[in-house]
């Protein structure tokens, strides 16, 4: 970081970009006292709006538990509690080469995973950025693009360096990590309930996405067998358990948010029709992002949350996710800023048009603002001047940082409520449990994990310390491969559930 005495200079971002910085010629010392007071008053208002008390958190947990229960009882509930047809934990002895295709919220990834046993593996991968157009075009075209990327990976990476010779009709097993809510009645099949995370590809909701993807695999004549359709949380659960057998719950806090855990088949009334051994356990993909959707009875939504919801491509849906996930936090903060611009509180006399477009304020900026180590908050100066062409006073910057903290903290505390509801349902509090967590918020947002842990203590008291989150293994790649391996073994031993 370089800053000249005149208040201009530059910051180097981790991305390699350099931000030019110009401080305003007058800083907070020159501000009229009334303006300073106004910022502090505003902050108090937002503190009230965004703060979750322990009592409120405990009420949310109770309502959450009821929703989980209902989802296990009957099909088509708000929190769908999807049985994934992944039965029990991996043995750690799963071996061999598996392909994983990961269609997440932002990127498409193709991986070759070599499982080596004893919790060890090797992974080779390629990543492709998805365009907004691809997310909204025809669904079959999206799956064709997935197959095309897989073909390039097989043709370049596999045939060249890996010594895997795909001749004579040999096919590689593939796990398809498709991280959107799908209802499943077998492991290699899944009907898309709804798109989330801003996706909206046509002709896909209500269809079997595994069948659609198979069609694309055939079109490109790919030497692979689609063994399993996997949610990223289920992959994370299995991959984390593969390396750390204490893991009982997995969560993703990224562009979207969700959790999976292992449930007893006997405690899932809606599965009675399958006549599965009652002693079996099955991984449940909760799809908890949908908690409180449509009804909006339990979550403390502010007017900014309501605007985010109503202007989204899926109003009323994913109510919990919209308060927590990386796709939305930046937008919530931007809406507060815009309100204060309209009220004449912020950026007086400056042109603020760059802040007026939806979703221009990235959640990564909240992370950067919270982790700015300088007294003058130089990172915040850089963000506002470089991306939005506005200059900030120190008082404004302190206000933005405090606001980011409120929004980030609320997200982490709500996440704690979700974890607590599963812990409490499964009776894990006394014995303790390890929660494998992944996603950009969890991995990159400063203090996100600490705030979840604090939240768990607020909910459960001292016993909350028995619940520890840890960075999970790559569920969408390694987890997908482990599930494909487990499925292959199950199919070979005639245990495949097909109705
Ligand atoms: C999806 C889930 C997914 C989560 C995290 C949510 O929007 O509905 O299926 O697990 O995002 O990627």
Q: Which pLDDT value is given to residue 486?
A: 92
What is the DSSP code string of 189-252?
--EE----TT---BT-TTSBHHHHHHHHHHHTT-SEEEEEEE-HHHHHHHHHHHH-TTEEEEEE
Write out the two tokens for 371: 């982790």
Minimal-distance CA residue to ligand 1 atom 12: 256
Q: 232 catalytic, yes or no?
A: yes
Q: Judge whether residue 158 has pLDDT over 70.
A: yes
What is the number of the ligand 1 atom nearest to the C-alpha of 233? 10
Mean pLDDT in the chain?
A: 90
153-157, 233-237, 250-254, 338-342: lowest mean pLDDT where? Answer: 153-157
Where are the domains positioned within the chain? Answer: 87-243+474-489
Q: 194 catalytic, yes or no?
A: yes
DSSP secondary structure letter of residue 348: T
Q: Which pLDDT value is given to residue 18?
A: 53
Output the CA 218–ligand 1 centroid distance in Å: 27
Choice between 27 and 55, residue whose per-residue pLDDT is larger: 55
- Reduced to 3 states (helix: H, G, I; strand: E, B; else coil), residue 107 is strand
Q: Judge whether residue 35 has pLDDT over 70.
A: no
Counting residues of the chain whose pLDDT is more than 70, the rounded percentage is 89
Cβ of 418 below 6 Å from ligand 1: no
Cβ of 103 below 6 Å from ligand 1: no
For the segment 225-243, what is each residue's pLDDT rounded down to a tens digit?
Answer: 999 999 999 999 999 998 8
3-17, 20-34, 118-132, 141-155: lowest mean pLDDT where? Answer: 3-17
Write out the two tokens for 251: 């969560």
Cβ of 479 below 6 Å from ligand 1: no
Q: Indicate which residue of 24, 109, 179, 312 is catalytic.
A: 179
Cβ of 235 below 6 Å from ligand 1: no
Tell me how far apart the alpha carbons of residues 58 and 293 are, in angstroms, rounded to a whole number: 19
Q: Which of 79, 80, 82, 179 to mutate to test the pocket of ligand 1 (most atoms within 8 A of CB)?
A: 179
Q: Which of 84, 176, 196 to mutate to test the pocket of ligand 1 (most atoms within 8 A of CB)?
A: 196
Which CA distances in Å does 21 have to 233, 375, 385, 389, 474? 41, 15, 7, 10, 37
Cβ of 287 below 6 Å from ligand 1: yes
Q: Judge whether residue 28 has pLDDT over 70.
A: no
Average pLDDT estimate for 434-457: 97
Q: Judge whether residue 396 has pLDDT over 80.
A: yes
Q: 216 catalytic, yes or no?
A: no
Neighbour-count burial of 414, counting CB atoms closer than 10 A to its CB (0-12 exposed, 13-18 middle, 19+ buried): buried
Query: 87-243+474-489 belongs to which homologous superfamily?
Result: ATPase, nucleotide binding domain (3.30.420.40)
Q: Decide the pairing of beta strands 281-285 and 433-438.
A: unpaired
63-67, 132-136, 166-170, 178-182: lowest mean pLDDT where? Answer: 166-170
Q: Judge whether residue 132 has pLDDT over 60.
A: yes
CA-based nearest residue to 264, from 279, 251, 254: 279
Neighbour-count burial of 283, counting CB atoms closer than 10 A to its CB (0-12 exposed, 13-18 middle, 19+ buried): buried
Local confidence band at 49 (pLDDT 50, 70, 90 cut-offs): very high
Minimal-distance CA residue to ligand 1 atom 6: 256
340-374 as b/e: b if 16+ CB within 10 A: bbeeebbbeebebeebeeeeebbbbbbbbbbebee
Average pLDDT estimate for 408-427: 98
CA-based nearest residue to 69, from 58, 56, 79: 79
Cβ of 181 below 6 Å from ligand 1: yes
CA-based nearest residue to 296, from 320, 331, 325, 327: 320
Tell me how far apart the alpha carbons of residues 278 and 264 are, in angstroms, rounded to a whole number: 8
Q: Which pLDDT value is given to residue 167?
A: 59
Cβ of 80 below 6 Å from ligand 1: no
- Strands ordered across the beta sheet of 82-87: 82-87, 281-285, 257-264, 247-253, 433-438, 467-471
Q: Indicate which residue of 188, 208, 232, 372 is catalytic.
A: 232
Q: Which pLDDT value is given to residue 162?
A: 55
Tell me how far apart the alpha carbons of residues 178 and 214 are, in angstroms, rounded to a whole number: 13
């Amino acid at each position: 970081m370089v800053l000249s005495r005149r208040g201009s200079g530059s910051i180097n971002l981790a991305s390699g970009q350099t931000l030019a910085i110009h401080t305003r010629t007058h800083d907070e010392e020159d501000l009229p006292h009334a303006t300073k007071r106004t910022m502090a008053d505003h902050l108090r208002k937002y503190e009230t709006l965004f703060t979750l008390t322990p009592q409120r958190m405990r009420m949310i947990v109770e309502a959450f538990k009821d929703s989980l229960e209902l989802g296990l009882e009957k099909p088509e509930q708000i929190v769908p509690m999807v049985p994934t047809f992944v039965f029990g934990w991996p043995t750690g002895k799963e071996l061999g080469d598996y392909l994983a295709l990961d269609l997440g919220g932002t990127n498409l990834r193709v991986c070759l995973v070599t499982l080596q046993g004893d919790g060890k593996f090797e992974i080779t991968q390629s990543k492709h950025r998805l365009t907004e157009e691809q997310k909204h075009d025809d669904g079959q075209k999206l799956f064709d693009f997935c197959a095309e990327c897989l073909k390039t990976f097989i043709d370049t990476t596999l045939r060249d360096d890996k010594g895997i010779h795909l001749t004579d009709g040999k096919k590689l097993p593939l796990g398809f990590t498709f991280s959107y809510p799908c209802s499943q009645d077998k492991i290699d099949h899944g009907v898309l309930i709804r798109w989330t995370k801003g996706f909206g590809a046509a002709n896909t909701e209500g269809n079997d996405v595994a069948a659609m993807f198979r069609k694309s695999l055939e079109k490109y004549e790919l030497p692979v067998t689609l063994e399993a359709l996997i949610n990223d949380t289920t992959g994370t659960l299995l991959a984390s358990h593969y390396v750390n057998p204490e893991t009982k719950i997995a969560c993703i806090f990224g562009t979207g948010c969700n959790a999976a855990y292992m449930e007893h088949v006997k405690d899932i009334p809606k599965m009675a029709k399958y006549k599965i051994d009652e002693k079996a356990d099955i991984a449940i993909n909760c799809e908890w992002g949908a908690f409180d959707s449509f009804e909006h009875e339990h979550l403390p939504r502010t007017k900014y949350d309501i605007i985010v919801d109503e202007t989204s491509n899926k109003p009323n849906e994913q109510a919990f996710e919209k308060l927590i996930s990386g796709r939305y936090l930046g937008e919530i903060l931007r809406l507060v800023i815009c309100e204060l611009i309209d009220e004449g509180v912020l950026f007086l006399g400056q042109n603020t048009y760059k802040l007026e477009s939806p979703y221009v304020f990235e959640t990564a900026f909240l992370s950067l603002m919270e982790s700015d180590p300088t007294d003058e908050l130089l990172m915040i100066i850089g963000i506002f001047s470089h991306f939005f062409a506005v200059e900030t006073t120190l008082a404004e910057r302190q206000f933005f940082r405090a606001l980011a903290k409120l929004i980030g903290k609320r997200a982490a505390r709500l996440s704690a409520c979700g974890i607590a509801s599963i812990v409490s349902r499964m009776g894990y509090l006394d014995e303790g449990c390890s929660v494998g967590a992944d996603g950009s918020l969890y991995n990159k947002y400063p203090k996100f994990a600490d705030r979840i842990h604090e939240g768990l203590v607020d909910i459960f008291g001292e016993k909350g310390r028995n619940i520890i989150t840890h960075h999970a293994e790559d569920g969408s790649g390694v987890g997908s491969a482990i599930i494909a391996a487990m499925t292959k073994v199950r199919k070979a031993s005639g245990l495949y559930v097909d109705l």
